[in-house]
Amino acid sequence: MSVQDRAGLVGARRVVVKVGSSSISGENAGKIQPIVEALAAAHARGTEVVLVSSGAIATGMPYLALEERPVDLATQQAAAAVGQNVLIYRYQDALRPFEIVAGQVLLTAGDLENPTHRSNARRAMERLLGLRILPIVNENDTVATHEIRFGDNDRLAALVAQLIGADALVLLSDIESLYTRPPSEPGARPIDVVAHDDDMSGFEFGSVVVNSVGTGGAATKASAARLATASGIGVLVTSADLVADALEGAQIGTWFAPAPGVTPASATGSVRAVSVS
C-alpha cells in the first residue's frame, strides 16, 4: 500500500532512503552514525529499508590525495573504487551494534533498463530484504559513463523504489525542504506539498549543482520525485539531519503525493520513466 502522506512513513512496509555525498563525506562523515540509527529504528519497527547512498568518489578522494572532485572519468572511477570499500565499511561498522548486516548492491541506470539485469537485481534485492539484510545501493561508478556526473543518485533511487515496489521514497538533502526558488534569494518560500498533477514550471529550482564532492540539487530531486510518484510512490524531500523525524512521520520537508489510483509495482512490475513537467 502506497504511503499517502508523511504520517504514513512510520508504518510503511518498504521504504527507500537516499543520502547524498555532501551529507556523509568529509567533515560530515560522522553523520553516518545518526543516519544508521534512524534506519535501524525503522528496521526494528518491521519496515524493510533500502539505502541508496552516494559518496564513493567523495570518500575515496582523501586516499588519492585529492582536495577537489576530479573532473576526468578515469580518476573519478579510481576514487570510487577506493571509496566504495571504505564507505561500506563505515556503514557496516555503524550497523554492527544493531545486529544488522549490510548488503552492497552496485547498479547503473542502464542496468534497470535491461530486462535481464533488472530482473536479476530485483530478485537479489527481494532476497536480501527477505533475509532482513539492509541493501546499500550505489551507482557502479567504476563502469558508469555520464551517470557518474549527473543526478547524484536521485534518479537511481526513484528507479530502485519502482523496482522493488516501495511504499515511499525519502530523498535526503542539505536543507529541510524544497523552495519555490533558491532559498538564498528574496521571496523564496518552502514548498509543503506537491500534488501529483501540480504544475511545477513556476518553481525556480535552478540547474544541477556541482560542488567539491558531488552532484545534485533541487532540480534532480524534484525530477526524481515526479518519476516515483507517477508509479504511486509517495516521496519526502528533507534534510539528512532530520532523517529520524522523517521516518517517524513528522510533518517536515516537502511531500510529493503519489498519483491516485496507482499501486506501486509489485516484484514483477516494470520500471517506468517519467520526466518532470
pLDDT for residue 50 = 98
Q: What sections of 96-114 are H helices per DSSP?
A: none
Is residue 135 situated within a structural domain? yes
Per the prediction, the chain carries an average pLDDT of 87
Q: Is 138 assigned a ligand-binding role in the annotation?
A: no
217: left (phi over 0), alpha (psi -120 to 50) or beta: left
Predicted confidence band of residue 145 (pLDDT cuts 50, 70, 90): low
pLDDT for residue 213 = 44
Q: Which of 246, 202, 208, 212 is nearest to 224 (CA)?
A: 208
Quote the pTM value: 0.90
Is residue 142 situated within a structural domain? yes
Q: Is the dihedral of CA 87, 119, 157, 147 positive or negative?
A: positive
Domain CATH code at residue 110: 3.40.1160.10
pLDDT in tens, 65-74: 999 989 888 9
Overall number of domains in the chain: 1
Q: Around 261, how many Cα atoms within 13 Å sit in the side-chain half-sphere?
A: 0
Q: Is 114 assigned a ligand-binding role in the annotation?
A: no
Q: Is 266 assigned a ligand-binding role in the annotation?
A: no
Predicted confidence band of residue 97 (pLDDT cuts 50, 70, 90): very high
pLDDT in tens, 210-254: 344 444 578 889 999 999 999 999 999 999 999 999 999 999 999
Is residue 227 situated within a structural domain? yes
Q: Is 28 assigned a ligand-binding role in the annotation?
A: no
pLDDT in tens, 159-205: 999 999 999 999 998 889 999 888 888 888 999 999 988 887 777 76
Is residue 262 situated within a structural domain? no
Is residue 272 situated within a structural domain? no
Strand-pairing partners, residue 134, are 102
Q: Percentage of residues in the chain with pLDDT exceeding 70?
A: 87
Range of the domain at 112: 6-256
pLDDT for residue 265 = 67
Q: Is 18 assigned a ligand-binding role in the annotation?
A: yes
Note the Cα 59 to chain centre separation in Å.
17
Q: Is 53 assigned a ligand-binding role in the annotation?
A: no
More confident position, 258 or 183: 258
